[in-house]
Structure 1
Amino acid sequence: MILTVSTTHSPATDLGYLLHKHPDRVQAFRQAFGTATVFYPEASEERTTAAVTLEIDPVALARSRGKRVPDFSLGQYVNDRSYAASSLLAVAMADVFSTARAGVCKARPELADSAIPLEIRIPAMPCRGGVEIARRVFEPLGWAVSAVPIALDPDYPEWGESRYLDLTLSGELRLADALSQLYVLLPVLDESKHYWQGPDEVDKLLRSGEGWLAAHPDRALITRRYLGRGAGLTRVALTRLAELDGTDGSDGSDGSDGSDGSEDPPAEEETAQPEERRKPLNTQRHEAVHAALRDLGARTVIDLGCGPGQFLDRLVRDASFSKVAGCDVSSRSLRSAARRLHLDRLSERQAERVSLFQSALTYEDERMVGYDAAVLMEVIEHVDLPRLAALERVVFGVARPKAVLVTTPNVEYNQLYELAGTRHSDHRFEWTRAEFTDWTEAVAGAYGYRAERRGIGDVDDTHGTPTQMAVFTR
Structure 2
Amino acid sequence: MLLTLTATATVDLPDATDLGYLLHKHPDRVQVFELTVGTATVLYPESTPARCTVALILDVDPIELARSKFRRGSDGFALGQYVNDRPYAGSSMLAVALSRVFKSALAGVCKTHPDLAETVMPLHVTIPAMPARGGADLPGRLFEPLGWDVTAEPLPLDETISQWGDADYVRLELSGTATLSAALRHLYVLLPVLDDVKHYWVGEEEADKLVRMAGEWLVDHPETGLIASRYLAHRRELVASVVDRLAEEAAVPGDEVPASNASLAQLRQDAVLTTLEDLGVARVVDLGCGEGRLLREMLARPAFTRIVGVDVSDSALRRAERRLGIDELPDRQRDRIALLQSSATYRDARLRGFDAVVLMEVVEHVDEPRLPALVRSVFGDMRPRVVLVTTPNAEYNVLYPNLAPGAFRHPDHRFEYTRTQFESWASEIAATHGYDPTFTGIGENDETHGAPTQMAVFTRKEGS
Residue 220 of structure 1 is matched in structure 2 by 212
Q: How many residues align?
A: 328
Distance of 1:271 and 1:333 partners within structure 2: 37
Residue 64 (structure 1) shift? 3.6
Distance of 1:458 and 1:310 partners within structure 2: 22
Deviations 1:27-77 (A, max 9, x none): 468xxx99x9xxxxxxxxxxxxxxxxx99599x99x94489899x999848
Deviations 1:166-186 (A, max 9, x none): xxxxxxxxxxxxxxxxxxx9x
1:289 counterpart = 2:272:
yes
Aligned residue identity for 1:465: A
Q: 1:402 aligns with which of 358, 373, 385?
A: 385
Deviations 1:80-130 (A, max 9, x none): xxxxxxxxxxx89xxxxxxxxxxxxxxxxxxxxxxxxxxxxxxxxxxx999
Conserved in 2, the CA contact under 8 Å of 1:223 and 1:237? no
Q: Give the match's secondary structure for 1:391.
A: helix
Note the 1:12-27 alignment, pairs <5 A: 27=83
Residue 359 of structure 1 is matched in structure 2 by 342
Residue 381 (structure 1) shift? 0.3
Q: List alignment gaps of at least 5 residues for structure 2.
A: 2-58, 92-126, 156-167, 170-177, 230-236
Note the 1:62-461 alignment, pairs <5 A: 64-65=136-137, 76=153, 188-189=187-188, 191=190, 211-214=204-207, 216-217=208-209, 219-222=211-214, 230-231=221-222, 233=224, 244=241, 249=245, 266-268=249-251, 276-418=259-401, 419=403, 420=405, 421-461=407-447
Residue 426 (structure 1) shift? 0.5
Distance of 1:234 and 1:365 partners within structure 2: 35
| Identity %, equivalent residues | 35
1:452–1:68 CA distance, 2 compared to 1 (3 A): closer
Residue 191 (structure 1) shift? 4.4
Residue 470 of structure 1 is matched in structure 2 by 456
Query: Higher mean Cα deviation, 384-393 or 413-422?
Result: 413-422
Distance of 1:6 and 1:275 partners within structure 2: 50
Question: What's the Cα RMSD here?
Answer: 5.1
Residue 212 (structure 1) shift? 3.6
1:328–1:270 CA distance, 2 compared to 1 (3 A): farther
Conserved in 1, the CA contact under 8 Å of 2:283 and 2:306? yes
Residue 439 (structure 1) shift? 0.5
Q: TM-score, normalised by structure 2?
A: 0.57
Residue 339 (structure 1) shift? 1.3
Conserved in 1, the CA contact under 8 Å of 2:72 and 2:80? no
Q: Give the match's secondary structure for 1:244.
A: helix
Aligned residue identity for 1:362: T
Query: Higher mean Cα deviation, 364-373 or 403-412?
Result: 364-373
Aligned residue identity for 1:231: P
Residue 230 (structure 1) shift? 3.5
Residue 266 (structure 1) shift? 5.0
Conserved in 2, the CA contact under 8 Å of 1:241 and 1:249? no
Conserved in 2, the CA contact under 8 Å of 1:385 and 1:428? yes
Q: Give the match's secondary structure for 2:345.
A: coil
Residue 32 of structure 2 is matched in structure 1 by none
1:270–1:244 CA distance, 2 compared to 1 (3 A): farther
Q: List alignment gaps of at least 5 residues for structure 1.
A: 37-53, 79-90, 93-127, 134-162, 165-184, 252-264
Residue 357 (structure 1) shift? 1.1
Distance of 1:362 and 1:222 partners within structure 2: 37
Q: Give the match's secondary structure for 1:213.
A: helix
